[in-house]
Amino acid sequence: MNKKIELQDLGTRSYKDTWDYQEQLFKGVLDIKIKNRREDLHIPTPNYFLFVEHSHVYTLGKSGDFENLLLNSNQLEQKHIDFYKVNRGGDITYHGPGQIVGYPILDLDNFFTDIHKYLRYLEEIIILTLKEYGLNGTRSEGETGVWLDVGTPFARKICAMGVRASRWVTMHGFALNVNADLGYFDNIIPCGIKGKGVTSLNIELGVEKVDEDEVKKKILKHFTKLFEAKFI
């Protein structure tokens, strides 16, 4: 099993360009798996982890409801916000500056073949990262992602998640609000969940700006430990 993961920080890149790139990597891993099975080969499959920051965009998962987008096409254009219906799980979410987006493209045959466990591990990585900042991030039953103050009237989401998997190969991932402009969430019903808010790490810490590189290092540290992986 290949537990090495190629780390790529793409900087700021449009959602569509990054989605296309994910699909390219995803297909490459699948092609190797199919070739191995058909020809009884044992070519190691690669794993990737992409960090990226997107320009303003709303994305709607394959089971999402268009009614959770509260803007029409003209309003999106006026506000310079892109919109895509995508092939991940989950409903609608926002990506934009000040948000750390992580896309693990892993062959889970290299780690463990359990999508439920995979999602819980992604949540745990964010929970452990938030703990280092003194925040008690938790799960909310039936709602993928990481929240604060679950079970109270002040429940708010700090990290959204949505993935796709085929033949145990993953794509898409998580979006952690670090220095995000939360005003953009007012134009959607985030993840299709009414009556709950969203938040960002800088707001929770009461600071103007959090060092995003530091947050990324913490995420990678916890990812390495949980997945018993090595970044290259």
| Beta-bridge partners for 124 | none
SS3 156: strand
pLDDT value at residue 195: 61
pLDDT value at residue 192: 55
| Residue bearing tokens 């925040």 | 135
Cite the beta strand spans of the chain per DSSP E. 4-12, 48-53, 57-60, 82-85, 92-95, 99-105, 138-140, 143-148, 156-166, 169-177, 197-198, 230-231
* Residue 51 · residue 216 · CB < 8 Å: yes
The percent of residues above 90 in pLDDT, for the chain, comes to: 82
pTM, 2 dp? 0.94
SS3 203: helix
**Which ranges of the chain have pLDDT less than 70?**
190-196
pLDDT value at residue 190: 63
Q: Give the whole-angstrom CA distance, residue 149 versus residue 26.
A: 36
Backbone angles phi, psi at 230, to 5 degrees: -135, 125
At 164, list the tokens. 């796709």
Which residues form the catalytic set?
Answer: 191
CATH numbers and ranges of domains, the chain: 4-231 (3.30.930.10)
Give per-residue pLDDT as tens, 89-143: 878 889 999 999 999 999 999 999 999 999 999 999 999 999 999 999 999 988 8
